[in-house]
Amino acid sequence: MDPDAALMLRVKDGDVQAFEHLVEKYKHPIVNVIYRMLHDLDEAEDLAQNVFIRVFQSAGRYEVSAKFSTWIFTIARHLCLNEIRRRGRHPAQSLESSQSDDPEQAPRQYPDGKTFSPPEAFLHRELEQKIKQALEELPEKQRLAIALCQEDELSYEEIARVLGCSLSATKSLIHRGRETLKEKLKPYLRSGAWEEPENETLPEKRC
Amino acid sequence: MNKANMEKTEYQNLKEAGWRRPLTAAERARLREFLAAHPEWQETWEQEAALTGLLRRRPGAAVSTNFTARVVQAAQRLPVKPAWRRRLEMFPWLPAGWAPRATLATAMVCCGLFSFHEYGTLRRVQMAREVAGIIREPGLPSIDWLENFDTIDRMNKVEVADDGLLMVLQ
């Protein structure tokens, strides 16, 4: 049996420690996917918290029918899309926009492990901004497919299940999304740079 | 499948693997072999790899150190659901919210009443058809044939002959 499903069955029996294990294991991938969808760290954490609360609340009727990871990412997908729709309906209430006007609530700053010289840092920031913008302009499903594709926990088949598409449709979504990104980021895609760098993650925040 | 198609499929597989993880040494060797045979794909692959690099290089979201504790605390603070609510959750196919549930219940009751009514009508129609069938049966004798039924019946019941009456009649 999927070890995470076994943990979930323990949660069903009221084992809080099993729930803690699940949160610990999935917090980074879930926050990451939501962050890549919303580009708002605070919102990503809040939404991720909601995802785990939903998991806890649904423990009573949990049945081992699919992999736990597929299930939790599907919950995250639903909450993410709901949030995007809510933002679409109430754009003025977006946390990102309200924060930028309020110096007391300026967006959080995180130290970047990598040190750049000033021109490099400027280019790095610009590139980061361009990638973010290009990703934001992608249709929701393509963006989500690309975000899920970056998570090691999920195979292509599982990504397809989370998205509710066939395997070929999922690969097609990723392909089309990447084609659009390549088009938009063309000037930044260095020719011949296909040595893949290590994945960098920012250090954890201290609260 | 011809060789060109096989190579294309192989390239596609390598490309899809590259979207998710760094290629293994063996995969890179196969890729080099493919690109050596098809230099026209070199630029496309380089763009693919560069985009993968850009996406991988993006920093992941930094999660608060107290995130797990916060989630567990919030989960434990959740109100305990009343028994009726827990029983209701045993039927996950039920729609959420009282209005859709009331609509569903009304629809089910209406369906029940309609079915009962239809069943009654069907039974009455069936009975009427059976009666009509018997009436229309051509083999049955006419009702006039039963005119002297009582007299004949009574005659059959006389067991001893009335000698006095027979004498008078003679």
Q: How far apart are CA A35 and CA A147, in angstroms?
A: 9
Q: How far apart are CA B138 and CA B140, in angstroms?
A: 6
Q: Do A16 and B71 touch (CB under 8 A)?
A: no
Cβ contact B55:A189 at 8 Å: no
Interface test with B, best of A120, A138, A189, A206 (most B CBs within 10 A): A189
Interface test with B, best of A128, A194, A204 (most B CBs within 10 A): A194
CATH number assigned to the domain covering A1-90: 1.10.1740.10
pLDDT on residue A125: 78
Q: Do B59 and A112 touch (CB under 8 A)?
A: yes
Write the pLDDT tens digit of every residue in A13-67. 888 899 999 999 999 999 999 998 888 888 999 999 999 999 998 888 788 877 8
Phi-psi region for residue A87, left (φ > 0), alpha (ψ -120 to 50) or beta? alpha
Cβ contact A164:B22 at 8 Å: no
Domain presence at residue B133? yes
Write the pLDDT tens digit of every residue in B86-136. 677 667 777 777 888 899 999 999 999 999 999 999 999 999 998 888 877
Q: Do A203 and B62 touch (CB under 8 A)?
A: yes
pLDDT on residue A132: 87
Q: How far apart are CA B150 and CA B161, in angstroms?
A: 19
pLDDT on residue A100: 45
pLDDT on residue A91: 65
Q: Do B89 and A60 touch (CB under 8 A)?
A: yes
Phi-psi region for residue A106, left (φ > 0), alpha (ψ -120 to 50) or beta? beta
What residues make up the domain containing B132? 96-140
Confidence of residue A117 (pLDDT cuts 50, 70, 90): low
Domain count for chain B = 2
CA angle A165, A199, B57 (to 5 degrees): 85
**Of A138-142, A161-165, B61-65, which gets the smallest average pLDDT?**
B61-65
Instruction: Tell me which residues of chain B have a pLDDT lower than 70.
Output: 1-3, 80-86, 89-90, 139-141, 158-159
Q: Could you write out the DSSP letters of every residue in A51-113?
A: HHHHHHHHGGG---SS-HHHHHHHHHHHHHHHHHHHHHH-GGG-HHHHHHH-GGGPPP----S
pLDDT on residue A115: 55
Q: Quick one: which of A36, A143, A159 has its CA closest to B16?
A: A159
Domain presence at residue B11? yes
In total, the C-beta contacts within 8 angstroms joining chain A to chain B are 144
Q: Do B71 and A60 touch (CB under 8 A)?
A: no
Closest CB from A24, A127, A182 relative to B51:
A182
Cβ-based contacts of B23 with chain A (< 8 Å)? 196
Q: Which two tokens stand for residue A145?
A: 């497919």
pLDDT on residue A101: 47
pLDDT on residue A144: 92
Domain positions in chain A are 1-90, 116-190
Q: How far apart are CA A1 and CA A6, in angstroms?
A: 7
What mean pLDDT value characterizes chain A?
79
- What average pLDDT does range A138-160 have in this prediction? 89
Q: Could you tell me the CA-to-CA distances from A12 to A2, A76, A86, A179, B168 in Å, in that order?
A: 15, 20, 31, 43, 108
What DSSP designation does B64 have? B
Q: How far apart are CA A149 and CA B16, in angstroms?
A: 10
pLDDT on residue A200: 39
Q: What are phi and psi of A103, to 5 degrees?
A: -65, -25
Write the pLDDT tens digit of every residue in A169-195. 999 999 999 999 999 888 887 644 434
ipTM above 0.90, yes or no: no
Q: Do B56 and A199 touch (CB under 8 A)?
A: yes
Write the pLDDT tens digit of every residue in A69-107. 999 999 999 999 988 888 877 765 544 444 444 444 444
Q: How far apart are CA A50 and CA B74, in angstroms?
A: 10
Residues 6 or more apart whose Cβ sits within 8 Å of residue A167? A156, A157, A160
CATH topology assigned to domain A116-190: Arc Repressor Mutant, subunit A (1.10.10)
Cβ contact A199:B58 at 8 Å: no
Q: Quick one: which of B150, B18, B64 has its CA closest to A150?
A: B18
pLDDT on residue A177: 94
Cβ contact B16:A171 at 8 Å: yes
